[in-house]
Amino acid sequence: MTEKPTLSVKDLRVGSPFTELLHGISFDIAAGERVGLIGESGSGKSLTATSVMGLLPETLTATGTVSLNGADADLLTAGERRLNQLRGNTMAMVFQEPMTALNPLMRVGAQVAEIMTVHHPDRGRRQARQRAVELLAQVKLPNPAETALAFPHQLSGGQRQRVMLAMAMANDPQLLLCDEPTTALDVTVQAEVLKLIGNLVTDRGTALLLITHDIAVVAEVCQRVLVMYQGDIVEDGPVGRVLTAPQHPYTQKLIAASDLSSVDDRGRLHTMSMPVISTPGAAQSSPGPIQADAAAALTVPPHRAAHQRLEPDGPPVIFNEATGAPAISVRGLSRQYRRRGGGLFAPAPIVHGLREVSFDVAEGQRFGIVGESGSGKSTLMRILCALDQPSSGTVNVLGQSIDGASERQLRNFRSQVQIVFQDPMGSLDPRMRVRDIVAEPLRQVSRAEALARVEAQLAAVGLDADVMHRHPHQFSGGQRQRISIARALITRPRVLVADEAVSALDVSVRAQVLNLLADLVDEYQLTLVFVSHDLGVIRHLCDTVAVISDGRIVECGPTASVYDRPLHPYTQQLVSATPSMHELARRVTS
């Protein structure tokens, strides 16, 4: 007997009065089948899920049919009352943002219990609360009875996402929709949550639609994958086949661009031919560094780091110790924060941001710092850029001592050390024109010369001169990040610090920006400090990597060596949580 599919979507079109966003997509999900839906931002993934749940914004309308369990009723035309019966009961959804998806004023146990009392008013409140605690135990939350009484702000992001899962699974739905469930989480936490999702749906035979931009996530959990591109499903097939032998040109490019370990014959990442204003890396048009400097730099033998780890209870280690005058030299750096409050009379508790960190970065090195949220990597980055002061220890950048330096003493330093921030939207002033943004770091330069330099710099990052008069909101994320890079390089710095510079970008754009960064670092002979949570990105871009955890560098060495033979248990855990594309393909096909 052939079973009816759990979810059947036929010719689903979603649009506003002005444009169509989904162009008639169709797919089925069989009972217990785990399907991934993958695509870039704006491709229509989330719209697909919200259409199924009937939670589209009022301004959008959907046509086509969506049916559950082969029922004749079309969910798109079903009444609100019927949808309320289905939502949270037959189909449930987990959203991306664990920080905001839970009611901050309600205990999490009560929020889990609510989904049961809503659909089964006959069952008692007490029974629902007991069942909520059981569910919290099933999603592997520690001390479920106590956790049930916690408020969301008392839980970590991963724990909140577990609560969301407990809630979604409470009524044993036949279909679970997950919209980027692990995107906001750290890699090690992501791996655990994905495993949990996989186990929950497999044990209960729940059909799964998992939306993500990350192929690795799909490979981890799903059997089949749908690839979305600009409102259409362009490919549909088993995960192993799509990963190893993608049919559609878009999928082929997407997979090539996702693979940070594979490069073309020029050592560059595969990019997708996306419309860019001009070709990136227009090296000829940019005024390069002075030739004599280049010659001098070339005579310096490249520094190669020793591969070291921090032993438990061992002495502090000076990582990547360089001879001569390193670009950055950090010794015994600690940063503590005094938390607000504390008792009425007791002193406020002290939080250790960094403890006894010592390392060097040699001139011209590409130094990656990898760590998860709360590891101290952002604190370290802020101190290196003299945006924060150490509690103790010394920090020396380009011969300038940062600890205790006044803003006046740092003036030269500021033009020598520049930063590219994570958020390409938030780090550009929305009311300034691009030319003013890029020219802002320049001091004592005539207006005409400033404009000439801005134009040359924009050309160097692959943007045409006519973008100068526009405002940041008129650009895509990748273009904005190019503007940030142009702003950082306009003072001809010697050190470039990048804080999660590609984390907010789509896979295809990420590859372009990484190629651009690599070109520019070579061209300007920059010393690069690249802070990221993403091992793949660091592995591609950096020659040396430091792994930071709980305020300490636990391991440091040449990138390949650290990745292939991690010494510290934490590094081993990180590396195994982020498999390469080859590893993924091997796992899904075996």
Partner 1 sequence: MVLVVLRRMGVFATTVVVASIVTFLMLSILPGNAARIALGVQATEADVAAQATAMGLDRPAVVRYLDWFGRVLIGDFGTSTVSRQAIGPEITDALGITVILVLTSVVLALLFAIPFGILTAVRQRKPDGAILSGISQIGVAVPGFLAGMLLVTVFAVTFRWLPAGGWVDPGENFKEFLEHLILPAIALGSVQGAVLSRYVRSSVLEVMREDFIRTARAKGLGAGRALFRHGLRNAAVPVMTVLGLQIATLLVGAVVIERVFSIPGLGSLLLDKVALRDLPAVQGIVLVLVVFVLALNFLVDLAFTLIDPRLRSAA
Strands of 32-118 (E only): list them: 34-38, 61-68, 91-94
Q: Minimum CB separation from partner 1 for residue 159, in Å?
A: 16
- Selected from 32, 64, 151, 304, the binder of partner 1 by CB under 8 A is 151
**Residues 331, 394 contacting (CB under 8 angstroms):** yes
- In this chain, which of 128, 135, 136, 167 binds partner 1, going by CB under 8 A? 167
In the range 480-539, which residues lie near partner 1 by CB under 8 A?
Answer: none
**Which residue, 184 or 501, is less far from partner 1 as judged by CB?**
184
52 part of the interface to partner 1, by CB under 8 A: no
Q: Contact between 255 and partner 1 (CB under 8 A)?
A: no
Residue 210 near residue 218, CB atoms below 8 Å: yes
CA distance 68 to 74: 8
Q: Which is nearer to partner 1, 110 or 282 (CB)?
A: 110
Q: How far is CA 471 from CA 229, 438, 453, 500, 506, in A?
A: 28, 12, 19, 23, 21
Q: Does 105 bind partner 1 (CB under 8 A)?
A: yes
User: Which tokens hold the place of 580?
Assistant: 């390469």
Instruction: Measure the CA–CA gap between 22 and 26, rounded to whole angstroms.
Output: 11
Q: How far is the CB of 153 from partner 1 (least distance, A)?
A: 5
CA-to-CA dists, residue 440 to 415, 424, 433, 453, 491, angstroms: 11, 17, 11, 12, 10
Question: Which of 4, 153, 204, 443 is close enough to bind partner 1 by CB under 8 A?
Answer: 153
Return the range that interacts with partner 1 (CB under 8 A); candidates 99-107, 301-309, 315-323, 468-476.
Answer: 99-107
Question: Could you say which of 1, 292, 295, 344 contacts partner 1 (CB under 8 A)?
Answer: 344
Q: Per DSSP, which regions of 254-349 are E strands?
A: 308-309, 328-338
Query: Minimum CB separation from partner 1 for residue 485, in Å?
Result: 32
Using the minimum distance from each CB to partner 1, give the nearer residue, 96 or 212.
Answer: 96
Nearest residue (CB) to partner 1, 10 versus 120: 120
Q: Which of 16, 61, 106, 146 binds partner 1 (CB under 8 A)?
A: 106
Residue 590 CB, shortest distance to partner 1, in Å, is 36
Touching partner 1, residues 111-130 (CB under 8 A):
114-115, 118-119
Residue of the chain from 204, 339, 469, 473 that contacts partner 1 (CB under 8 A): 339
The string of DSSP letters for 419-469 reads EE-S-TTTTS-TTS-HHHHHHTT--S--HHHHHHHHHHHHHHTT--GGGGG
Beta carbon nearer to partner 1, 31 or 101: 101
The count of other CB atoms within 10 Å of the CB of residue 348 is 12
Binders of partner 1 in range 346-385 (CB under 8 A):
349
Backbone phi and psi for residue 452, each to the nearest 5 degrees, phi listed first? -65, -40
Helix 187-204 with 569-577: angle, nearest 10 deg? 50
Distances (CA, A) of 184 to 100, 258, 372, 504: 11, 18, 11, 11
| Spatial distance between the Cα atoms of 417 and 397, rounded to a whole number of angstroms | 9
Which two structure tokens, joined as six digits, stand for 585? 């393909």
185: Cα within 13 Å, side-chain hemisphere: 27
CA-nearest of 320, 309, 417, 412 to 359 is 320
Contacting partner 1 (CB under 8 A), which of 249, 342, 426, 569? 342
Give backbone dihedrals phi and psi of 460, rounded to 5 degrees, phi first: -65, -30
Q: Which is nearer to partner 1, 50 or 481 (CB)?
A: 50
- DSSP label of 494: S
Considering beta carbons, is residue 86 or 514 the nearer one to partner 1?
Answer: 86
Q: How far is the CB of 53 from partner 1 (least distance, A)?
A: 6
Q: Which stretch binds partner 1 (CB under 8 A): 187-195, 210-218, 340-348, 480-488?
A: 340-348
Q: How many residues sit close enough to partner 1 to count as binding (CB under 8 A)? A: 37
Q: Which stretch binds partner 1 (CB under 8 A): 96-104, 201-209, 374-382, 565-573?
A: 96-104
Q: Which of 28, 97, 403, 523 touches partner 1 by CB under 8 A? A: 97
Q: In terms of Cα–Cα distance, which of 398, 393, 328 is closest to 354?
A: 393
Q: Which is nearer to partner 1, 91 or 384 (CB)?
A: 91
Closest separation between CB of residue 483 and partner 1, Å? 30
Q: Which of the stretches 33-41, 333-341, 422-430, 434-442 binds partner 1 when contact is defined by CB under 8 A?
A: 333-341
* Nearest distance, CB of residue 361 and partner 1, angstroms: 35
Q: What is the C-alpha separation between 578 and 190, in angstroms, rounded?
A: 10
- What's the min distance (Å) between Cβ of 118 and partner 1? 5
Please report, as residue ranges, which positions from 550 to 589 form the binding site for partner 1 (by CB under 8 A): none
**Which parts of this chain interact with partner 1 (CB under 8 A)?**
53, 55, 58, 80-81, 84-89, 92-93, 95, 97, 100-106, 114-115, 118-119, 151, 153, 164, 167, 339-344, 349
